[in-house]
Structure 1
Amino acid sequence: MRTLRFLLTGLGNVGRPFLEILHERAALMRERYRLELVPVGVADSGGAAVDARGLDVPAVLEAKRAKRSVATLPGVGRPGMGGLALVREVEADVLLDATPTNLKDAQPGLDIVREALRRGMPAVLASKGPLVLAFQELAALSDWTSPRNPALRFSGAVGGALPTVNVGWRDLALGKLGLLEGVLNSTSHLMLCRMGEGRTYEEALKEAQEAGIAEPDPTLDVDGWDTANKLVILANAVLRVPTTLKDVAVTGMRGVTREELDAARARGGQVLLLARAEPRGDGTWALSVKPTVVGGEHPLGRLGARDMGLVYRSDIHGRVTLLSGDEGAWGASAAMLRDVLDVARE
């Protein structure tokens, strides 16, 4: 039986479900993988909790359900200790970062992940910010550049449980990739599906918000920027092309017309807010996010309202289509667990 000690920064919509899954499946993990994952430090916005012997996961979860910081836990609470201090001061085998995505400066996640990698600690991310704003820097510190460096994994940052990154960089190894197309944002897709059924933009947005998919301010989703962020990560990680947001032409879904929606339905398809990467033939790629009419013959043309999907085309693998029902934060949490198991195997 092996033991992997981990730190978890961020105990919100992804970090907390991760601990719940881990607690529920601990016995299965020991049986199937001969592995025990032990949290020795966790941090939220109010501080941290630290115990080298392993924290009491039910106690951590109970504190979060009661809307209390883990810093209030008796004996192990560390008021005022942030994620960066946690990584600097507590010995562990792997970092899990689930801090909120910040696309202005990627903090606090970026500094936390930098510190872990510099210390030789593998890092598993659910947050997109550090990957969108500093992928090449983090790649240089990790096994994306040299197998001697600590592992960097982030499949939960692009499509939740959908294995977009893993399939692209691992399972399509040595393939020459061609066109990449994806529906990677659940809010915009649900809204476009409902609008295609005759509902107004406002009615579709209300449903998405009531379902817990859309934020109170849905700007990043409906204007295409969340999809663009994910395309940037795929371009860097899978296409291996240094890419930033300025390299992506982005058009949101607000301007979709009734004529476009009706035309798509007439073809047995739908309007998708489609991420697209197409090789230009000179080593560069045309990257875009925009509303696109697709017919029913398209691999993504019949996606359900709560689905996401991605299509890779490779010269030796052919067309590979990935589809997944949206599981929300649970999908991203499950993807983090998948990444941790990958790190443990390595």
Structure 2
Amino acid sequence: MTPADLSRTVLRAVRRAVDEGALRAPVPARVRVERTRPGGSGDYACAVALQLAAPAALPALEVAAVLRERVAAEPGVGRVEITGPGFLSFTLDAPATGDRAVLDAVREQGLAYGHGDALREEILQFHHAREVRAAVTAHAVRRLVVAQGARVRVSCAEASDPDWARLGVTVDAHGTPPVPLTGIRPVPAGATAGELLEQLGPDAARWGLLRPAGHDRAALGPDLLVQGEANPLFRVRYAHARARALPRGAALLGFTAGHDPDGEGPYPYDGAARPLLDLIADHPGVLLAGARHRAPDRVARQLEAVAHAFFDFHDSCPPLPAGDEKPSAAHRARLALAEAAGTVLAGGLSLLGIRAPEHL
């Protein structure tokens, strides 16, 4: 069971409790679960009972007890405890199996890992000014919400700049339509699309426009083109290229990614591998939050974190054997994690409209 699966499981328990009359409260759009902090109980924790206590007019501990009863019976949940003023703490069955479930989901879903249907009931109309950062942001937000099942239409106050097409931007209509609108209003870039394309090219320009939060000014200088680890865009794309190169190297050594070869058992993802796996497991929640908050910068920051964790993992737990070392179960499992990281980086860059080359 992944964190996203657990979040949906808890949300179903809330909905069931409301439908059965055990709780009288609005069902939240989503439930956030977080990995338990050091010294805490269980694998994951959730504060939903505290959030529902006031609208339900019940003590948080009583709300937690109602939800505990309904979550504990779910497959994959080993134990549910109530801690503190009403936190729910979850211990999952077979943690190694849960880790493998995350990697299996990435392998099966590919670049669509983290996409979902949480916004399937929403029909959205975004509107922006004739300004390049607003146009690129609206385009990225469109991609994020569509990946969560929403239907979207984007309009611009005036006719589009022809250079926007070179940045991948499309607009459905011009002028202000007579329907409710959601305005996309980031701090203007201070340059035209043509100027940014000439100075930076499409990928660096889009990253520079999308990486800062909308209320912050975008840094659009030559640093975006530097091929060094101080440049977050280069670091993200280099991590992706390195992750894609590893399976090619493994093929030359005669092995592929996998688990439990020859009965050796699943490889435990601990040490430097653990932060990377946790980030991959949290990726669907980040994409959904980016869509809900119209915030592509959240996705960019997630990709930076994945890239950083990937390099830490790669250096501490090499997926390829060195020298005369023979490939082992650990190498196969590490390679599976590296491949998943590459998929997450490629999928996230794709949602931002940025290419993820396999060679840099």
Q: For the superposition of Structure 1 and Structure 2, which TM-score range results when normalised by the shorter chain?
A: under 0.3
* TM-score, scaled to structure 2: 0.25
Which of structures 1 and 2 has the bigger CA Rg? 2
Q: Which has the higher strand share?
A: 1
Q: Which has the higher helix share?
A: 2
